[in-house]
Chain A
Amino acid sequence: MRVLLVDDEMELVSALAERLSLRGIEADWACTCHDALTRVESKTFDIAVLDVKMPRISGLELKKRLQAKCPLMKFIFVTGHGSEDHFQEALREAGTAYYLVKPLHIQTLIDKMNEALKE
């Protein structure tokens, strides 16, 4: 399983990527949308974990762009803000309840990713 983590907080994604790696999951991370889009070009990912709220381009917008490049990619949304509107929108975008609120629980994230890949 290859995972791309995108969040504007570098400290967060880097730690998270390392934790996933420790559990045998191949995880890459990006802090900006641009970074994420370049990464997908050189490497294929099975799943992307996106922060909903990011500067300039939101997670939902990024998802659309990524999906255009890699149609098979699955998505999980993460947010620090438990707003209902975002939840509804993310739900529509992700197709199912792959929506997590920070702070994340590592096991929950792994479970969700597995679930998403099974679909």
Chain B
Amino acid sequence: MSILARLKPCFWGHADTEEERYKHLFNFRRIWKLTVLLTTVVALSPVISLAVFDYNVTHDAMESEIVLRTSRLVSNAKRTVSFFLTERKAALDFIVHHHSPEELNDPATLAHLLEALQKAFAGFTDLGLINALGRQQTYVGPFDLVDKDYCRQEWFQEVQDRGVYISDVSLGYRQLPHVVIAVKHELEDGSFYVLRATVDTKRFNDLLSGLEVDGGGDAFIVNHQGMIQTPTRWHGKVLEKMLLPVPDYSPETRVLQCQDVGGEPLVVGYAYIAETPFILMIVKHQNLLMKPWHKTRKALFAFLVVSVTAVLVVILGVATYLVNMIHDADEKRVVTLHHMEYSERMASIGRLAAGVAHEINNPLAIISEKAGLIHDIFNLKQEYAGDQKLIGLVESVQSSVERCGAVTKRLLSFARHMDVEIQPVRFKELIEEVLGFLGKEAEYRGIQVDVEVRDDIPTIKSDRGKLQQIFLNLVNNAFAAMADGGHLEIKVYRRSVDSVSVKVRDDGCGIREVDLKRIFEPFFSTKKQRGGTGLGLSITYGLVRELGGDIRVASAVGKGTSFTVTLPIEAKQTKRSDR
């Protein structure tokens, strides 16, 4: 038997199999399905919608939190970088304004100033003074750059135009990444000179690498052309083109979401640093940032699965249990209905029998008396004595009347026992009574009936009417199972001190092994086509149980069946509702 078949509740196939007359009130399968469906919808829809809602809200909150954090970090970093450059520019500005060109032209003074700058602001590597023609007049630093001509260089043009210049990171003559800051100072006579300093980008790099960027993030600087200015972990080499597109210009800090070349989602925060060619970029990996969220999501999902499963199990269990109860109650109702109808029928048969018996009894008594009188006259008066033929005729009338009398007495006793409860019962009489009803059938069909009542059988206290019904049913069933000329054996023997057994054995067709387990079930019948209701044996069983007894069956197909009813010598009357 498969697990599904084992789990299937007993009401599942019921509605379809019942016969018309004792139909169940409900379609249990439909009730079950409806209950399960409705309860499931009502119980699960709030849980699921709440889970979906919570999922979306938490997801959105997480994302906006990431954007906000990135934006704050970018703003702070921008301020730091911007301050770094402005600070150095201001220092140079101060020197240019505070010293005369003559002083600055003096290499000793310039060296002194470089030393002071290096002490106050880290990162300065050299310092040079360039005249209006673009020639470096004085230079202090690690290289020999005196007299170097810058007049054709782009930065020199720009510093002339704008007064200040901050370069991209470049390798320059020195093959070291550096940033150049140049400040122009105009003299009263219209000529000018430029103070030019080189700042080591190491300081710059330290600044950015010192930032704590979560989500596997990267903080670096690119110029407006997208050339990488400071080292980055993922997005290219220094002084090469960045792998990401250059973000659009915006005066404020911005955060946007995009994908890298591998298609991985990124969160990119950037800010254009004013008055410099730099863009500060902070790039984070969205998947890493969302990791805590994924954990939460997993927990949420697990919780949902567990609660949905629990709810479903409870719903299925409760629905099955309740529908089963209804089914059992309905089955009981149908059986009770049938039982009532059966009792009712038996009672009306009893009443009819009593009425008929009574109506017949009176004329019968007259016939009896008249025949008795005739018999008396023949016997007692001399003039008729000796007419043997007439006496014989009268005697046969009298014996027929006696037979009729026996029938009416039996009918009356049957009717009387319909409503009588516990009373002394003799088995011999009881069996004779039962056979009295069926004796004619046995005679016509040539069925031999052997009754054996042992001598030690006591009079038992029980319900005569019920016992009659029990044995009538058993004998009737035996007759139905037997072919003409069969053999029925009824044996009454003492089972124990306080119980008596009656065995009714026939040599009929027998009962199949599979049916044997079910024969006492209500509505189980192998004779449905022949009008069996399947209740005879279930009622018999109920009656035996009511009398505190027990019924057993043994059968072999083709050999016959034997029913053994064991009854207590003193029946305990159980409640009628137990049926």
Contacts and interface: CB of A to CB of B under 8 A. Distances in A.
B365 A19 contact: no
Contacts of B373: 15, 18-19, 22
Among B364, B368, B402, B420, chain A packs the most CB atoms within 10 A around the CB of: B368
Given A22-B377, A103-B364, A12 B409 contact: no
Interface in B350-402: 354, 357-358, 361-362, 364-370, 372-373, 376-377, 380-381, 401-402
A9 B402 CA distance: 19
Q: Main secondary structure on chain B at its contact with chain A?
A: helix
A83 to B, nearest CB: 6
B405 to A, nearest CB: 5
29 contacts: A9-B365, A9-B366, A12-B365, A15-B370, A18-B373, A19-B369, A22-B373, A22-B376, A22-B380, A22-B381, A80-B358, A80-B361, A81-B354, A81-B358, A81-B361, A82-B409, A83-B412, A83-B416, A102-B361, A102-B362, A102-B405, A103-B367, A103-B368, A103-B369, A103-B401, A103-B402, A103-B405, A104-B369, A106-B372
Contacts of A11: 366, 369-370
A82 B412 contact: yes
B366 A15 contact: yes
B413 interface: yes
A111 interface: no
Contact of A9 (B362, B377, B401, B420): B362
A119 interface: no
B368 A104 contact: yes
A19 B374 CA distance: 9
A101 interface: yes
A115 interface: no
Interface residues of A, number: 19
A-B pairs with the 6 shortest C-beta distances?
A103-B368, A15-B369, A80-B361, A102-B365, A82-B412, A103-B365
Nearest to B367: A103
Interface of B: 354, 357-358, 361-362, 364-370, 372-373, 376-377, 380-381, 401-402, 405, 409, 412-413, 416, 420
Contacts of A12: 362, 365-366, 369
A81 B358 CA distance: 5
Interface in A8-63: 9, 11-12, 15-16, 18-19, 22-23
Contacts of A9: 362, 365-366
Interface of A: 9, 11-12, 15-16, 18-19, 22-23, 80-84, 101-104, 106
B376 A84 contact: no
Given A15-B373, A19-B376, A103-B405, A82 B413 contact: yes
B372 to A, nearest CB: 6
B409 A80 contact: no
A30 to B, nearest CB: 16
Nearest to A81: B358
A15 B373 CA distance: 6
Contacts of B420: 84
A19 B416 CA distance: 32
A101 B354 CA distance: 14
Contacts of B405: 102-103
Given A16-B369, A22-B381, A81-B412, 9 more contacts: A15-B373, A18-B373, A22-B377, A80-B358, A80-B361, A102-B365, A102-B368, A103-B364, A103-B402
Contacts of A84: 416, 420
B391 to A, nearest CB: 15
Contacts of B412: 81-83
A109 B314 CA distance: 78
Nearest to B377: A22
A12 B367 CA distance: 8
A11 B362 CA distance: 10
